[in-house]
Amino acid sequence: MLKISLTYFWVPFLTLTLVSFNLFSCDSLSYCFAQSDSRSDTPNNVQAGSLISKAKIYIEKNNFPMAVRHLNEALKKSPRQAEAYLLRGEALDRMGLPMKALQDLNKYVELRPQDPEGFIQRADTNNFNSDHKAAVEDYNRALRILPNSRAALLGRGLAFTAMENYEMAIQDYNRLLLRYPRDHEAWANLGMAYHLSGNNQSAIENLLKALEFEPDREWRIKIDRIIQQLSAAIVSEKPRKRGPTKFHRNPD
């Protein structure tokens, strides 16, 4: 069966096949830089809340080492700042340090066990590092707190797809689409789940819906290309018509 992959990064969420972010390695100089002392950048008289606010700006700019540096200082000043653990977990994960990220996310969940965001982010980290079973468990926890969480349903569908449990993935995407019927990411993920399960006709139908709602021109081109490939595969798989196997002479 033709296997087609379409890859979206998960921020914003839309991952049709799992790939790692293009991040720093675990022994990167960036991490050492982030851990180094930098009093000139993070003076001692700055409050923890201000350091966290600056870290958010660095994360938005994809400057994760500087974000980690500020969050380190914030946690030195206020070790029970839950938000700092969540943000540092995100930054460390984006730097390619998932084990260190999970330590921070575990601490956040410990401090705020009723916040689904901690479970979702920890699940995302595990999902992108191929621990899909652990990811599903955390998505389940998040959904018990927030039953219609888009991020948790999309992520759990992704984990089920990676585990080749396509039926459960399809159920999650359909559940999400009941609440968010114009969600192009869910339509595309649903289409790919159908494709991977061997149902190319349903895959095309859902990818066409994704194409209808997809705002990004580059991804529209990619989705359209996949639809064409699947259509060609369906045509090639259809049995060819055969002519008669025996001819009768005209008695005249």
Per-residue pLDDT tens digits for 50-76: 999 999 999 999 999 999 999 999 999
Q: What percent of the chain clears pLDDT 70, i.e. is strictly above it?
A: 76
More confident residue, 29 or 184: 184
More confident residue, 166 or 246: 166
CA dihedral for 136, 141, 144, 148, sign (positive or negative): negative
Nearest to 54 by CA among 29, 78, 38, 74: 74
**Counting Cβ atoms within 10 Å, is residue 49 exposed (0-12), middle (13-18) or buried (19+)?**
middle
Look up residue 239 and give its DSSP letter. P
pLDDT of 26 above 90: no
Confidence at 5, pLDDT banded by 50, 70, 90: very low
What would the two tokens of residue 11 be? Answer: 């921020």
Query: For position 46, what pLDDT does the model report?
Result: 80
What would the two tokens of residue 230 be? Answer: 């699947």
The answer to whether 226 touches 206, Cβ cutoff 8 Å, is no
Interval 219-243 mean pLDDT = 83
pLDDT of 117 above 90: yes
Reported pTM:
0.78
pLDDT of 17 above 50: no
* pLDDT, the chain, mean: 83
Query: For position 44, what pLDDT does the model report?
Result: 64
Query: For position 234, what pLDDT does the model report?
Result: 86
Query: For position 238, what pLDDT does the model report?
Result: 66
